[in-house]
Amino acid sequence: MRPGRLIRGGTVLVVAAGLAGCASTQEPEVQRVATAFEDAGGAPDARCALLAPTTLAALEQDQSASCADALGQLPLAGGQVRSVEVWGGDAQVRLAGDTVFLTETKGGWRVTAAACRPQGDAPYDCEVEAA
């Protein structure tokens, strides 16, 4: 085995380990935002503030209603957190009754999709998502 390959492989391992460490430090904040979105105590305005701007705009356009009115009509099941996964600036939180997707913005983590159901190998089917 050539020494150059060993060094490059070691570098890749160090970088991958560093990225995994960063992701794990983000998990508590990602989980906090996802659960706050699901458990906003029936306050649609609080949920709207946690949406990514493109998701907010798409929701209002798709529903032809304000965000608060649109979210007030959607069943957000929430529940106990089952898993949190973070990949760079994107994340997924699986709850007992829902799956929520998030992205990291300048203003912190924001919800990009919610009320999502798995579709086998196909992408999730989400009630709230950017176009």
Question: What secondary structure letter does DSSP report for 66?
Answer: -
Q: How far apart are the first and last CA of the chain?
A: 49
Computed over every residue of the chain, the mean pLDDT equals 82
The per-residue pLDDT for range 97-120, each reduced to its tens digit, is: 999 999 999 999 999 999 999 999
Q: Tell me the domain boundaries of the chain.
A: 26-129
Domain 26-129 sits in CATH 3.30.1490: no
Closest CA to 74 of 84, 83, 63, 64: 63
Contacts of 24 (CB under 8 A, 6+ apart): 86
pLDDT band of residue 17 (cuts 50, 70, 90) is very low
Contact 38, 95 (CB under 8 A): yes
**What's the pTM?**
0.80
Q: Is 60 exceeded by the pLDDT of residue 4?
A: no
The per-residue pLDDT for range 25-48, each reduced to its tens digit, is: 889 999 999 999 988 666 788 899
